[in-house]
């Protein structure tokens, strides 16, 4: 008993308290407090989208943390051409580059096809948009003569390239347009109260640029000058790009609503809040953080409570909604709709395919190993491809028919980036 007495007598002394405070502080800070620049990998397919499926796609472009890289879908990990019966073979990373000063890049790379090869634009948490030229001599770093400073905040959303302009939203507020030729600032709009975390969509016919902001508004700007045309208070933050179809914008909010806004009507309200443009609202279980997919008059999308919804685009009447109660996880990414199947990736580490007509579950994929699926889902040929939070299996491909895993690609290391820069073309 006496052995226990001595420590008791020490408990109230200052060093003990100081040590307790120090340990608590370290625990607090190590658990929570550092401002970590975090998001999920951005994925872009170099191909033509037809009926929900990319055809003629050869490359996947991926941005994650300080690296942007390209996967050649036609070659295996050793660089050999893949035969048709070798679908389950790991793919070849044929190009990788790092940002400047360890700037973090999570947005899906925006592609511009040029005569001298493709150019890749990626926004960074390092307050800049970088341009990369994978097919040029400068392979593992951004182009030195093209750098678009955005301001003092990070770039979270992907860029939109159109003509000779790159449009990009800022993490804190506003949107900017840069010249694709020089990187110089061409136009700017700072009228949002919070950041723009997704790419704008362009209406060429009306010379308008539409985007949602985290300040709970949807904006329409003149595409050339970035002057405000109108905005609508939608009551919740808009984190993903809207879908523009027949003059109607469809988008989800972080107040768990799918909303349709008319872009063509003549509103009589002040341009600062033309709420009469709102056509319909549809309430969901969880936040909507993805762009809906429209197929045959039905909007398909997931919410962060793990439900996949099918909603009539004209009336917003629900057609079906589905979830897996046993392995429920939020659906952050855009769903793919191909061959009558709706394929959604979830935070529960699984992909699921549902019947587009009935919502019946067709298959559940093999788990994406250790990490949750947060990226968009794309279909290339007969492969379903998405990104995970695991650096070892950053990009994962599944079989469209069965959901079986085909291959995966890890995030390139610093050595990989250097090696690829030296590799012969």
Partner 1 sequence: MDFLTDPFIVVMLWLYRLLGENLVLAIIVFTILSRIITYPLMRQQLKSSKRMREIAPKLQALREQYKGPQNREALARAQMELYRQEGINPMAGCLPLLIQMPILFGLYGAIYATLATTPLQFLDIQNRLLIPELSAMLPLKNQFLWMNLGQPDPYFVLPILVVVSTWLQSKIMTPPVTDPNDPSAAVSRNMTTIMPLMVGLFSISFASGLSVYWVASNIVGIVQYAMMGQVDWRNVFSAPKPAPAKAVAAPKSNAAPEPRRQERETAKTPATVSKKRKLSETMQRPAALGASSVSQPAPSPSRKSAPPKSSKARKAKK
| Residue 283 engages partner 1 in binding (rule: CB under 8 A) | no
Tell me, letter by letter, the H, E, C secondary structure of 302-344. ECCCCCEEEEECCCCCEEEEECCCCCCCCCCCCCEEECCEEEE
Which of 134, 147, 131, 57 is CA-nearest to residue 93?
A: 134
Q: Nearest distance from residue 124's CB to partner 1, in Å?
A: 13
Stretch of 31-39, 141-149, 333-341, 402-410 lying at the interface with partner 1 (CB under 8 A):
31-39
In the bound state with partner 1, the residue whose beta carbon lies nearer, of 286 and 367, is 286
| Residue 39 engages partner 1 in binding (rule: CB under 8 A) | yes
DSSP class of residue 388 equals B
Give the residue, chosen from 150, 156, 356, 406, that forms a contact with partner 1 under the rule CB under 8 A: 156
Give the residue, chosen from 244, 304, 417, 420, that forms a contact with partner 1 under the rule CB under 8 A: 304
Q: Nearest distance from residue 94's CB to partner 1, in Å?
A: 28
- 245-248, long-range: CB < 8 A, 24+ apart: 245/294, 245/313, 248/279, 248/313
Gap between the Cα atoms of 173 and 323, Å rounded: 35
DSSP class of residue 139 equals -
| Residue 190 engages partner 1 in binding (rule: CB under 8 A) | no
In the bound state with partner 1, the residue whose beta carbon lies nearer, of 254 and 397, is 254
In the bound state with partner 1, the residue whose beta carbon lies nearer, of 177 and 237, is 237
Count of residues touching partner 1 (by CB under 8 A): 57
| Residue 376 engages partner 1 in binding (rule: CB under 8 A) | no
Distances (CA, A) of 255 to 238, 239, 275, 316, 328: 9, 11, 17, 17, 20
Q: Is 32 exposed, middle or buried (0-12, 13-18, 19+ CB in 10 A)?
A: exposed
CB atoms within 10 A of CB 13: 9
DSSP assignment of 243-287 equals EEETTEEEEE-TTSEEEEEESSS---S-TT--GGGEEEEEE-SS-
| Residue 237 engages partner 1 in binding (rule: CB under 8 A) | yes
Q: Is 8 exposed, middle or buried (0-12, 13-18, 19+ CB in 10 A)?
A: exposed
| Residue 287 engages partner 1 in binding (rule: CB under 8 A) | yes
Give the residue, chosen from 71, 220, 254, 337, that forms a contact with partner 1 under the rule CB under 8 A: 254
Give the residue, chosen from 72, 151, 235, 399, that forms a contact with partner 1 under the rule CB under 8 A: 235
* Joined tokens for residue 357: 């007509």
| Residue 399 engages partner 1 in binding (rule: CB under 8 A) | no
* DSSP SS3 for 171: coil
| Residue 166 engages partner 1 in binding (rule: CB under 8 A) | no
In the bound state with partner 1, the residue whose beta carbon lies nearer, of 114 and 283, is 283
Q: Is 301 exposed, middle or buried (0-12, 13-18, 19+ CB in 10 A)?
A: buried
In the bound state with partner 1, the residue whose beta carbon lies nearer, of 68 and 338, is 68
Query: Which residues, 6 or more positions from 185, have their beta carbon under 8 angstroms from its beta carbon?
Result: 148, 176, 177, 178
CB 126 within 8 A of CB 147: no
Give the HSE-up count for residue 39: Cα atoms under 13 Å, Cβ half-sphere: 30
Give the residue, chosen from 135, 138, 147, 194, that forms a contact with partner 1 under the rule CB under 8 A: 194
| Residue 374 engages partner 1 in binding (rule: CB under 8 A) | yes
Give the residue, chosen from 47, 169, 183, 330, that forms a contact with partner 1 under the rule CB under 8 A: 330
57 alpha-carbon distance from chain centroid:
19
In the bound state with partner 1, the residue whose beta carbon lies nearer, of 277 and 332, is 332
In the bound state with partner 1, the residue whose beta carbon lies nearer, of 156 and 202, is 156
| Residue 269 engages partner 1 in binding (rule: CB under 8 A) | no
Give the residue, chosen from 102, 123, 153, 404, that forms a contact with partner 1 under the rule CB under 8 A: 153
Q: Nearest distance from residue 347's CB to partner 1, in Å?
A: 8
| Residue 128 engages partner 1 in binding (rule: CB under 8 A) | no
Q: In the complex, which residues of this chain contact partner 1 (CB under 8 A)?
A: 2-3, 5-6, 8-9, 11-18, 20-22, 24-25, 27-29, 31-40, 106, 153, 156, 171-172, 193-195, 197, 214, 216, 235-237, 239, 254-256, 286-287, 289, 304, 330, 332, 374
């Amino acid at each position: 008993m006496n052995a226990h007495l001595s420590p008791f007598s020490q408990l109230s002394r200052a060093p003990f308290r100081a040590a307790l405070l120090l340990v608590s502080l370290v625990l607090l800070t190590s658990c929570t407090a550092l401002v970590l620049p975090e998001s999920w990998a951005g994925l872009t397919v170099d191909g033509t989208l037809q009926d929900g499926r990319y055809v003629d796609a050869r490359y996947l472009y991926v941005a994650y943390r300080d690296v942007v890289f390209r996967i050649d879908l036609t070659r295996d990990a050793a660089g050999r051409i893949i035969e048709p019966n070798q679908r389950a073979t790991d793919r070849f990373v044929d190009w990788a580059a790092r940002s400047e000063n360890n700037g973090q890049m999570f947005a899906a790379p925006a592609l511009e096809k040029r005569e001298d090869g493709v150019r890749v634009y990626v926004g960074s948490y390092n307050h800049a948009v970088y341009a990369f030229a994978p097919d040029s001599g400068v392979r593992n770093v951004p182009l030195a003569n093209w750098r678009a400073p955005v301001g003092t905040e990070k770039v979270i959303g992907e860029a939109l390239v159109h003509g000779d302009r790159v449009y990009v939203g800022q993490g804190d507020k506003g949107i900017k347009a840069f010249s694709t030729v020089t990187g110089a600032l061409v136009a700017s709009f700072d009228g949002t109260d919070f950041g723009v975390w997704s790419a704008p969509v362009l209406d060429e016919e009306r010379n308008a640029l539409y985007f949602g902001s985290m300040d709970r508004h949807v904006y329409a700007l003149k595409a050339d000058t970035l002057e405000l045309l109108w905005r609508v208070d939608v009551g919740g933050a808009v984190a993903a790009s809207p879908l523009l179809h027949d003059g109607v914008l469809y988008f989800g909010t972080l107040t768990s609503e799918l909303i349709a806004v008319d872009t063509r009507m003549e509103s009589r309200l002040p341009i600062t809040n033309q709420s009469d443009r709102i056509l319909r609202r549809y309430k969901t279980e969880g936040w909507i953080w993805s762009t809906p997919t429209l197929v045959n008059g039905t909007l398909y999308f997931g919410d962060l409570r793990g439900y996949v919804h099918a909603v009539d685009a004209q009336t917003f009447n629900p057609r079906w909604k589905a979830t897996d109660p046993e392995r429920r996880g939020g659906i952050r990414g855009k769903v793919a709709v191909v061959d009558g199947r709706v394929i959604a990736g979830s935070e529960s580490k699984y992909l699921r395919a549902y019947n587009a007509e009935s919502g019946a579950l067709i298959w559940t994929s093999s788990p994406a190993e250790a990490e949750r699926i947060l990226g968009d889902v794309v279909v290339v040929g007969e492969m379903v491809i998405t990104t995970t939070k695991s650096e070892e299996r950053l990009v994962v491909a599944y079989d469209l028919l069965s959901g079986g895993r085909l291959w995966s690609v890890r995030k390139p290391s610093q050595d990989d980036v250097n090696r690829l820069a030296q590799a012969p073309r």
